[in-house]
């Protein structure tokens, strides 16, 4: 079964430490992909994430995919049960994904029961494109020369994360221009995909603008 969990923020895991039915994250070996943080100046969110992982008893090893090869990643990730792809600069992350072949590796592993968990930028790159990161309420990072926004396409929709009511008017304006349907998440919500089933999980109703 394909298992994908897309978060707005690691904060979600503080209240929902094992949100995938039939899968205990505490029993998994998790590769924690920190690559997106290399495009960010304030790294305090990494320490918050590690604190939540420690609180939840997760067994994780940090992984930077920048500079790795597809063959290296295939060999390395075979010893893990899941990846957690951290937020940060979506453009830097997408560039590293393409150059390393990480997307091809993940697409091979998912049908085997491997779990993909993305937070923020890690969720954006799971979509067909990262175009939502270019809308004005999200566009705050160096684009790193990335002009083709095509991403991994693990799910058939786009996402807008870190929603708060102040962004409602911006999203009302932006979403009609999007190439695909857009799912909106607060930091207390996530989207769980198990095979073809897509479910909103966490606190609060689905956000519609």
DSSP-based helix, strand, coil % in the chain, nearest 5? 35, 20, 40
φ, ψ at 177 (rounded to 5°): -90, -5
The domain limits of the chain are 3-202
Radius of gyration of the chain from its Cα atoms, rounded to whole angstroms: 16
pTM for the whole thing? 0.95
Q: What is the pLDDT of residue 10?
A: 94
- CATH 3.40.50.880 describes domain 3-202: yes
Q: What is the mean pLDDT of the chain?
A: 93
Q: CA 72: distance to chain centroid?
A: 22
User: Minimal CA–CA distance to 142: which of 36, 68, 32?
Assistant: 36
pLDDT score of 125 more than 80 = yes
For residue range 43-61, what is the model confidence (pLDDT) as tens digits?
898 999 999 999 999 999 9
Q: Quick one: what percent of the chain has pLDDT higher than 90?
A: 80
Rounded to whole angstroms, what are the CA distances from 50 to 19, 55, 101, 115, 195?
Answer: 18, 9, 26, 19, 29
pLDDT band at residue 137 under the 50/70/90 scheme: low
Q: Which of 25-39, 129-143, 167-181 has the lowest mean pLDDT?
A: 129-143
Q: Which pLDDT tens digit goes with each residue over 65-102? A: 999 999 999 999 999 999 999 999 999 999 999 999 99
Range with the poorest average pLDDT among 68-72, 122-126, 164-168 = 164-168
> H-helix or E-strand containing 56?
helix 44-56
């Amino acid at each position: 079964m394909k298992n994908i969990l897309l978060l707005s923020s690691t904060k979600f895991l503080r209240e929902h430490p094992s949100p995938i039915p039939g899968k205990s994250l505490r029993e998994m070996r998790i590769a924690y992909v920190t690559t997106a943080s290399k495009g960010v100046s304030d790294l305090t969110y990494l320490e918050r994430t590690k604190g939540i992982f420690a609180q939840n008893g997760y067994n994780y090893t940090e992984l930077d995919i920048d500079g790795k090869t597809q063959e290296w990643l295939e060999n390395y990730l075979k010893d893990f049960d899941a990846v957690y792809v951290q937020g940060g600069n979506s453009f830097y992350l997408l560039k590293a994904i393409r150059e390393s072949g990480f997307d091809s590796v993940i697409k091979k592993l998912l049908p085997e029961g491997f779990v993909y968990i993305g937070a923020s930028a890690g969720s954006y790159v799971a979509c067909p494109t990262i175009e939502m990161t270019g809308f004005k309420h999200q566009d705050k990072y160096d684009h790193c020369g990335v002009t083709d926004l095509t991403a991994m396409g693990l799910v058939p929709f786009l996402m807008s994360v870190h929603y708060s009511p102040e962004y409602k008017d911006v999203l009302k304006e932006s979403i009609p221009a999007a190439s695909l349907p857009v799912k909106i998440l607060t930091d207390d919500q996530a989207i769980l995909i198990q095979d073809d089933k897509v479910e909103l999980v966490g606190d609060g109703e689905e956000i519609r603008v």
